[in-house]
Amino acid sequence: MSDLPEIRRASPGDAIGLARVHVAAWRDTYAGVLPSRYLIEMSSDDHAGRWRRFLSRHNRNHGTFVAEDPYDGIVGYGSCGPNRSPDLAGVAGEVHALYVDPMAQGQGLGRQLMAAMTDDLLTRRHRSLCVWVLTDNPARWFYAHMGGRLAAEEAIRFAGADLRQLAYIWPDLPSLLRLAGSVGDPA
């Protein structure tokens, strides 16, 4: 038995672990970017309820994957589905979220989750992919390193803050899957 985190499809029973990672990653990633009050008031209980409802609905168009450590439980997640942005016409799929617990970063879990989502989108016949990321999010460099091409920038307002976000695209998902490696490979 391996001590490496397992990448697998999420289930409604994962809601608490998903919420814990969501809140921890947002507080770490967006400190100084989003208003402190917003981050402080984030609730794992509220997010667990949202995750439970989302994962309980049978939705063939979306895939959610978790990285589960044998000792620490869920330490990362990624969610993907159809592209939601009309500004990126011609791009079929989208990474809606990709977060790794700050204590588990640097183990290649982001790459493995990206590979799982890419494989899932390819299975649903999506041939291209985008992700939107805040310009102040250090993870933007992960997407560039994974071969994402900067395609758009826009201003948004979230949690009372004026922000800028960037869109990275991959016009060829098979090449991203080769770069990300197979789901089971440790990074």
In a domain, 61, yes or no: yes
Give 139-180 pLDDT, tens digit per residue.
899 999 999 999 999 999 999 999 999 999 999 888 888 877
Provide the domain limits for residue 50. 6-180
> For 13-41, how does the pLDDT look when each residue is reduced to its tens digit (9 = 90+)?
999 999 999 999 999 999 999 999 999 99
pLDDT for 65 equals 97
Single pTM value for the model: 0.91
Are the CB atoms for 139 and 25 separated by under 8 Å? no
- Region of 147 please: left (phi>0), alpha (psi -120 to 50) or beta: left
Residue 139 lies in a domain: yes
Flag whether 187 is in a domain: no
In a domain, 1, yes or no: no
Residue 126 lies in a domain: yes
- The answer as to whether 85 is a domain residue is yes
Q: Report the number of distinct structural domains present in the chain.
A: 1
In a domain, 15, yes or no: yes
Q: In sequence order, what are the residues at sequence separation of 6 or more whose Cβ sits closer than 8 angstroms to the Cβ of residue 168?
A: 130, 131, 133, 140, 143, 144, 148, 149, 150, 151
186: in domain: no
Whether 1 shows a pLDDT value over 60: the answer reads: no
Segment 72-81 shows an average pLDDT of 96
- Of residues 8 and 176, more confidence is placed in 8
CA atoms within 13 A on the CB side of 50: 11
Using the predicted structure, report yes or no on whether residue 11 has a pLDDT greater than 50: yes
> Do the beta carbons of residue 169 and residue 124 sit within 8 Å?
no
Are 35 and 160 contacting, i.e. CB atoms less than 8 angstroms apart?
yes
CATH number, domain at 114? 3.40.630.30
